[in-house]
Amino acid sequence: MLYTPLLPGAASGALEPRHVVVPLREELEWTDIRLGRVTGADPAVNELSMRTVDGRDETLRYDQLVVALGSVPRVLHVPGLAEHGVGFQNLADAIALRNRALWNLEVAEAHPDDEARRAYLTFVFVGAGYAGVEGVAELQDYVSDVIDRYPRCRLEGARFILVEAQDRIMPEIPPTLAAFATRELRRRGIEIRTGTMLESVEQDAATLSTGERIPARTVAWTAGVRPSPAVAGLGLPLGDDRRIVVDATMRVQGRENVWAIGDAAAVPDPAKKGKAPCPPTAQHALRQGKVVADSVAATLAGGRPRRFRYRTLGVFVDMGRHKAVATMVGVRLRGFPAWFAARTYHVALMPGTARRLRLVIDWTVGLFFGRAAAELGQLGHPPTLGSLLEDQAGVEPRR
Ligand SMILES: Cc1cc2nc3c(=O)[nH]c(=O)nc-3n(C[C@H](O)[C@H](O)[C@H](O)COP(=O)(O)OP(=O)(O)OC[C@H]3O[C@@H](n4cnc5c(N)ncnc54)[C@H](O)[C@@H]3O)c2cc1C
């Protein structure tokens, strides 16, 4: 399980990536875990099909099914985006973005052409929800930490641009907090283009709907999510937004023993009197999971399921550099107090004492010694022995 609110921290080197992941086998001692991809379901006969990690197709029978397949980035048909844009949804994306930032600094440092160097030093984030705002803020923080080690890049400076189609950033939080976040980002030199869309992406440039062409080698796409494509194959009713239609107890419409929660389900939001679905956030998904677990247990014992009644108590938007914006039970915080509250909240929610301690140590070490700047792009892609054999052809005698 990836603790996504800490993903920007992992991308920026503030946290060791392994420390934002919770291995399921450590936490779920009483669960029979099967690693694989769900490929379909037949709710009429209570069957689920999956492909195991080693490629075998299996069918599982169930008494009760809880669907929690989450979401994937919502990618629009912007020319060049699929080829040149990068996502920011999982750990691989976060590590790739961090490695790319360091790689770009290396290339820019040695590049003879000024124009090309500028493109390597420009980072564009498209979509100013949580992921975009936290991602651009943390990455800028990281690059400004490490750029001192690159004398030519330091003179030039790096450029960060946040593009948002709506007329303000973070429509999920109150306007005053969003305005504070906007001022803070601008004060740091991050350029914000609201009411603007991405028109096209090339290998070394992004063009906006205003006609502006920005020389940039990195375009991160953080413009919203859509339910995991796997939900379409489960034979369950889907709404206009492709999320699974459920009632206030999260039971799937027309199915007594199927439940759906999290980003993949359109759970009526109690804060909006059930007229709109809950926003796709971890704080909703976690609470929905607990309520559904109780409901399944109650149903098996012949009882009645519980309704989902949670209303958002607060939000945190971490902006790096010991600053954040937050609302908590009606109280609004900005700057360092908000940052401290956000850290405390995440530490409290992270499962396991050892993991909490690791987070605190990462943040404390970073506070005194800056962030780790090691580039680990080769991790997980070691050269094969075959390629090494080719390298030594003609040098070593054949045996
Ligand atoms: C960068 C970023 C920052 C965020 N920050 C915050 C934040 O600060 N606060 C907040 O409340 N929310 C935040 N969110 C949103 C939050 O992560 C999601 O709302 C939450 O994870 C949804 O939980 P879920 O259980 O529905 O899905 P997920 O946590 O996405 O879990 C779904 C799981 O299903 C798996 N899966 C998908 N398809 C299949 C298949 N076919 N077969 C088997 N398994 C499958 C996936 O691999 C995944 O492990 C953030 C999201 C991102 C990307």
pLDDT at 379: 62
Place of tokens 């920005």: 214
DSSP structure class, residue 351: S
Q: What angle do CA 7, 334, 10 make, to 5 degrees?
A: 15
Tokens of 54: 């080693």
User: CA-to-CA distance for 41 and 45, rounded, in angstroms?
Assistant: 9
| Alpha carbon of 156 to ligand 1 centroid (Å) | 38
Q: Which residue has the CA at smallest separation from atom 44 of ligand 1?
A: 37
Give the number of the atom of ligand 1 that is nearest the alpha carbon of residue 281: 19
Mean pLDDT of 320-327: 82
Q: Which two tokens stand for residue 270?
A: 């109690």
Residue 377 has pLDDT above 70, yes or no: no
Place of tokens 């030594």: 392
Q: What is the mean pLDDT of residues 128-144?
A: 91
Atom nearest to 36 CA in ligand 1: 43
Q: Regarding predicted confidence, which is higher, 291 or 384?
A: 291
Pocket of ligand 1 (CB under 6 A): 4-5, 7, 37-38, 68-71, 88-89, 130-131, 228, 230, 262-264, 280-283, 285
Nearest CA to ligand 1 atom 6: 5
Percent over 70 (pLDDT), the chain: 95
Ligand 1 centroid, distance to 298 Cα (angstroms): 26
pLDDT for residue 63: 96
Ligand 1 atom at shortest distance from the alpha carbon of 7: 1
pLDDT band at 361 (very low <50, low <70, confident <90, very high): very high
Question: Mutation test of ligand 1: which of 93, 281, 311, 325 has the most ligand atoms closer than 8 Å to its C-beta?
Answer: 281
Mean pLDDT computed over every residue of the chain: 90
Task: Compute the average pLDDT of residues 301-317.
Answer: 90
| Lowest mean pLDDT segment, chosen from 190-194, 227-231, 291-295, 324-328 | 324-328
Across the range 26-45, mean pLDDT stands at 94
Rounded-to-integer distance, Cα 4 and Cα 53, Å: 23
For residue 328, what are the β-bridge partners?
314, 331
Query: In this predicted structure, what is the pLDDT of residue 286?
Result: 93
SS3 category, 30: coil
The H or E element spanning position 298 is: helix 282-300
The answer on pLDDT for 381 being more than 70 is no
User: 1-5, 34-38, 68-72, 266-270: which range is least confident on average?
Assistant: 1-5
Q: Which residue, judged by its Cα, is nearest atom 16 of ligand 1? A: 282
Percent of the chain at pLDDT above 90? 62
Residue 151 has pLDDT above 90, yes or no: yes
Q: Which residues touch 271 (CB under 8 Å, ≥6 apart)?
A: 311, 312
320: pLDDT confidence band, cut at 50, 70 and 90?
confident
**Could you tell me the distance, in angstroms and rounded to a whole number, from the CA of residue 264 to the centre of ligand 1?**
9
- Confidence at 394, pLDDT banded by 50, 70, 90: low
Residue 88 CA, closest ligand 1 atom number: 1
